[in-house]
Structure 1
Amino acid sequence: MQPEVEAYDLLVLGSGEAGKYIAWDAAASGRKTALIERRYIGGSCPNIACLPSKNFIYSASVAHLAGQADRFGLHPAQPGVDMEAVRGRKRAMVEGLIKVHEGRFAQTGAELIRGEGRFVAPKTIEVALNGGGIRVLTGAHVVISTGSRASIDPIPGLRESCPLTHVEALELGVVPARLVVLGGGYAGLELAQAFRRLGSEVTIIDRNHRLLPRADEDVAEAVTRAFLAEGIELVTDARVTRVEGRSGEDVRLHLEGGMGQLQVGGTHLLVATGRNPNTAGIGLEAAGVVLTQAGFVQVDERLRTTAEGVFAVGDCAGSPHFTHIAFDDHRVVRETLAGRNRVTTGRLVPSCLFVDPELAQIGLSETEARRTSTPYRLLKLPMAAVLRTRTTGHTDGFLKALVGRGDDRILGFTALGSCAGELMATVQLAMSAGLPYTALRDSIFAHPTYSEGLVYLFSGSPTAVE
């Protein structure tokens, strides 16, 4: 017997950042709303990605700082890392976040349906409930928020080696003796440095000629120096031809590239080579939703799909893979449903790499300015000139800003150093408001703070760059 079709004002498939906020806003405004989630309440960010990884990275930074305690006149009695305690701290945080999410569903009245959802007709989703049974739901509007997953390239032996992704790496209860990290992107770099600080021997393998190939040369060089100084081995311009063994026991990667043919071995293998959208197997063809060639849901500037009344948000829609962008995707859909105007085009997209020194970037980089032949003037300041760093000893890195050649608009900003992400927010606000760089130059920031460094940076004389 076919289950009865249940009608809703709004259905959301997947509880990632954008999807959950859309559901909460809609329900709070009185719309009958249901959100379908098969596993992670709140999506990947609070469960297995952003927040857990930053929790883990912070534990590693504390371990690193403890190893330098003598510099501060301290003598800790018991050196060493208890990985079960590190993991326990992370798990406790995740459990707390899940309770917060459950409370938000209860508060707003959005119905949380636990199960596997797939489209069976336009704007109609069949849900195989986790506890057994089937429900069929239809919505006046539907939002696809299914996210993405770590990709495993079709390299001979790679999948058979049972490699770690970030998900499994953050659940380890032991420190890997020797960790091989395949991929030098954001996730790979963050976890590589964290495991090194927790006591692993670490090797990063990347197919590009250097770390952070899209970043400015001075940024890439500084991050590379920092990693080498911590004893992390780097193998770049290398392609993996096959993998032998099993991660967690003994694994060996066969490489070829600029260094010729070589082998790299370890006890554990972490794969961090990119992400694939979760768009297969959810019946999008039955919904009339078209995918791009890369497998993302095809959307317009208001995140509308090719199917009437159906939106897609976040990673699965090809938005930049940042939680803060997914949150803005929710605002775009919310405003569109309300008949107001908000689009994804022209957004300032901030990024932050949580390594030490931290890297934050907003707007135009020098590399992009040259590629687009955009004229600019450059301001640059070493972090050592920010007096707050003299009190902490964290003097590595620099600040730099690009300003217009014909006006004083801030075109882009890069911070490499302590509190880089927090410093970026101030500059981003000035950029969003269309303020000239002189507004920051002439501000009074408290002394001694990291933000005070922005006054020093923008008090310099901008140099025209050809």
Structure 2
Amino acid sequence: MKSFDVVVIGSGPGGYVAAIRCAQLGLKTAIIEKYSTMGGTCLNVGCIPSKALLDSSHHYYDAVHHFEKHGIDAKEVKVNFKQMIDRKSEVVSQTSGGINFLMDKNKIDTFQGLGSFKDANHINIKKENNETETIETKNTIIATGSKPGSLPFIKIDKKRIITSTEALSLSEIPKHLLVIGGGVIGLELGQVYKRLGAEVSVIEYMPTIIPTMDGALSKELQKSLKKQGMKFFTDHKVSSVKSSGKEVVVTADDKKGNPVEFKGDYCLVAVGRKAYTEGLGLENVGIQVNERGQIETNAHLQTNIPNIYAIGDVIKGAMLAHKAEEEGTMAAEIIAGQKPHIDYNLIPGVVYTWPEVAGVGKTEEELKAAGANYKVGSFPMRALGRARASMDIDGLVKVLADAKTDEILGVHMIGARAADIIAEAVVAMEFRASSEDVARMSHAHPTYTEAIKEACLAVENRSIHS
């Protein structure tokens, strides 16, 4: 029987990073993956393929709507949807193959099959041919991630009523895509198909889209996506989803309780994700889960069984690949005897629509609810020379700072490259910078990041360009 210091179950961003960090720290490490490719949801049916389609559809949208203004005549631009999907698959294949390379480079043993606990120190691996191999381990890190959530009355047929997984590999562009859920996944995939010519209707239960982010971002994003032709029906509670042939009918109650009917040829159910623990055999070792099916852990990411850890989407917290990566590193270092720490307040959230949306720290709604004494600085992207040069003028940067100490408490932005720009805010907050600190830093001109400097200047009403 093969024996290891650490066995990681699941090879998504949390799992493979945990395995690499364990190996770097001199621990004999193995990783178990149920599917034939490494990388989990993120690399195979999540972050990477969705960004590939967002990028391809953005190029097409620019060619149709913006090239002429730039002085580029591109007549009869057409979508080759099959090629677009094929390129997405190539990107996924290259990225997943890169994980295999990293496993070999770090001398990590890989096993394909369904990993489940025999007991706290032995893991069964059921392979595709139904043979089972058992390995021994001193420590285990559970990194099995999440799967798309649904509503109890919805039957996902994977043909017309689909999840994000199917939406990434459709054989045709929908005529009218109904999207249930105005969160990150629904908006990103909705924008992909809107750009390619579909009519897109977003049906959201809450009064706003991206409801967990700062209210200013929600308002600005909805305004921008509406200009692009997406339709929004907030404050609508879906009660029924039926498919007949090539038509899907969604019934929802509006704010006043009146039923409203939506008809389309595809319906994307994007109501969040849920922890995936099926087949793990948690009951064999007595690992506790909460009412949402998430594995319970302490501040050190340990389950109630001390030598078993859990990270990423399978535990509480934001379901983000980079959060899982940080937890993978932390679990590895704790097993190795180190004392790492994660500041969850400084894990940024991003929506990869265009304009992009990003935020870190406290939202204004959270500060208000806590009775905090704070000040606000805001700066519109359209006031930037760089934004006008690229015709990306939608959006803003908003900085929240402590009224007394001036320490930055939150930074929220919507605009071109916000997903990249947010890192400056994370660095500033990691080192507990004040808005004055950032306002006095030199930012290259012309750049999008100048909007952060200007928003920090605006905290004290001394923005230069607005």
Same fold (TM over 0.5): yes
Other structure's SS at 2:147 match: strand
Distance 1:66 1:82 in 2: 14
What is the aligned counterpart of 1:432 among 420, 430, 433?
430
The letter of the residue matching 1:6 is K
Other structure's SS at 2:353 match: coil
Q: Is the 8 A contact 1:27 1:110 kept in 2?
A: yes
Matched, 1:10 2:6: yes
Find the counterpart in structure 2 of residue 232 from structure 1. Answer: 230
Distance 1:160 1:131 in 2: 26
Q: Is the 8 A contact 2:8 2:140 kept in 1?
A: yes
The letter of the residue matching 2:455 is L
Distance 1:178 1:346, change over 3 A: closer
Find the counterpart in structure 2 of residue 36 from structure 1. Answer: 32
Q: CA deviation at 1:432?
A: 0.4
Distance 1:161 1:58, change over 3 A: closer
Distance 2:144 2:110 in 1: 15
Q: Is the 8 A contact 2:160 2:243 kept in 1?
A: no
Q: Deviations over 1:365-386 (max 9, x none)?
A: 1111101111101111111122
Q: Is the 8 A contact 1:158 1:242 kept in 2?
A: no
Find the counterpart in structure 2 of residue 253 from structure 1. Answer: 250
Distance 2:220 2:343 in 1: 32
Q: CA deviation at 1:427?
A: 1.7
The letter of the residue matching 2:13 is E
Other structure's SS at 1:251 match: strand
What is the aligned counterpart of 1:178 among 171, 176, 179?
176
What is the aligned counterpart of 1:378 among 376, 379, 386?
376
Q: Is the 8 A contact 1:156 1:241 kept in 2?
A: no
Q: Deviations over 1:225-274 (max 9, x none)?
A: 11221221212222222222258x21111222325112101111111001
TM-score by length of 1: 0.94
Find the counterpart in structure 2 of residue 241 from structure 1. Answer: 239
Q: CA deviation at 1:347?
A: 4.2
Aligned length in residues: 458
What is the aligned counterpart of 1:413 among 389, 411, 414?
411
Q: Deviations over 1:59-88 (max 9, x none)?
A: 111111111221112221332211111101
The letter of the residue matching 1:32 is K
Find the counterpart in structure 2 of residue 49 from structure 1. Answer: 46
Distance 1:42 1:337 in 2: 23
Distance 1:346 1:228, change over 3 A: closer
Other structure's SS at 1:71 match: coil
Distance 1:406 1:424, change over 3 A: same
Q: How does 1:58-457 map to 2 (within 5 A)?
A: 58-68=55-65, 69-155=67-153, 157=155, 163-246=161-244, 249-258=246-255, 260-344=258-342, 346-457=344-455
Other structure's SS at 2:287 match: coil
Distance 1:156 1:386, change over 3 A: closer
* Contiguous gaps of at least 5 residues in structure 1: none
TM-score by length of 2: 0.94
Q: CA deviation at 1:116?
A: 1.0
Q: CA deviation at 1:158?
A: 5.4
Distance 2:7 2:26 in 1: 14
Other structure's SS at 1:219 match: helix
* Structure 1 stretch displaced more, 232-241 or 385-394: 232-241
Q: CA deviation at 1:162?
A: 5.3
The letter of the residue matching 1:378 is V
Q: CA deviation at 1:217?
A: 3.3
Q: Deviations over 1:283-322 (max 9, x none)?
A: 1011221111211000011100001200001000123211
Find the counterpart in structure 1 of residue 464 from structure 2. Answer: none
Other structure's SS at 2:412 match: strand
Q: Is the 8 A contact 2:435 2:457 kept in 1?
A: no
Find the counterpart in structure 2 of residue 21 from structure 1. Answer: 17
Distance 1:430 1:187 in 2: 28
Distance 1:133 1:90 in 2: 34
Distance 2:441 2:341 in 1: 32
* Contiguous gaps of at least 5 residues in structure 2: 462-466
Other structure's SS at 1:311 match: strand
Distance 1:203 1:122, change over 3 A: same
Q: CA deviation at 1:156?
A: 5.2
Q: Is the 8 A contact 2:183 2:211 kept in 1?
A: no
Other structure's SS at 1:341 match: coil
Distance 2:299 2:63 in 1: 48
Q: Is the 8 A contact 2:377 2:460 kept in 1?
A: yes
Q: Is the 8 A contact 2:6 2:137 kept in 1?
A: yes
Q: Deviations over 1:429-466 (max 9, x none)?
A: 11101222222211222211112222222223536xxx
The letter of the residue matching 2:337 is G
Task: Using the aligned pairs only, state the percent identity.
Answer: 27
